[in-house]
Amino acid sequence: MKLLVAIHVDGAQATAAAVAFEDWAAAEATKIYVSRIAHVEKAVRGELDLRELPCILQLLREHNLTPELILIDGFVHLDADDTPGLGQHLHHALGGSVPIVGVSKKRLPGLSAQFEVMREEETQPLLITCSGIDIGAAKVRVRSMHGRKRVPTLMKLAARLAKNDE
């Protein structure tokens, strides 16, 4: 099972949502998981925001999840020099045993065109970073995900579940 995770922080609380899927081209999740996090630390100005890391780990523990791969809405690395982002910290927290793919709609100055993937006829690329999986393979798989627009259907679903707390 692959897992696509989204976190929505609202003040001192958060909701972690995950959609499980088997096939990269799946239009629907095989299962949905939601966890409510009662307390989230404030982000420290000037430092990497890792508030989502304990939320993801709680979601995995609470639902006893052992995915073969995790996709996050964010970055695994912050630049081409592999400066660790949220995804790399997650990869380490899981003992390096679960590949992590970061999918972001935002650009970072340290990420060149080699991290971009275009979906359908969209003019803006997604930025793909990863750990434990080849970047080329990660890009091909994200490109093949269901959805005619820039953001894959399952990513939209996970984000909606986290925001709406359904």
Q: Write out the residue range of the structural domain in which residue 108 sits.
A: 2-164
For the full predicted model, state whether its pTM sits above 0.85: yes
The backbone region for 152, taken as left when phi is positive above 0, alpha when psi lies in -120 to 50, beta otherwise, is beta
What is the count of structural domains for the chain?
1
Reported as a single tens digit per residue, the pLDDT across 54-73 is 999 999 999 999 999 999 99
CATH of the domain at 116: 3.30.2170.10
Reported as a single tens digit per residue, the pLDDT across 108-128 is 888 888 999 998 766 789 999
Q: Do 3 and 18 contact (CB within 8 A), yes or no?
A: yes
| Strand 31-37 versus strand 13-21 pairing type | antiparallel
- Structure tokens belonging to residue 49: 């925001």
At which residue do the structure tokens 């971009």 appear?
116
Distance CA 129, CA 58 (A): 23
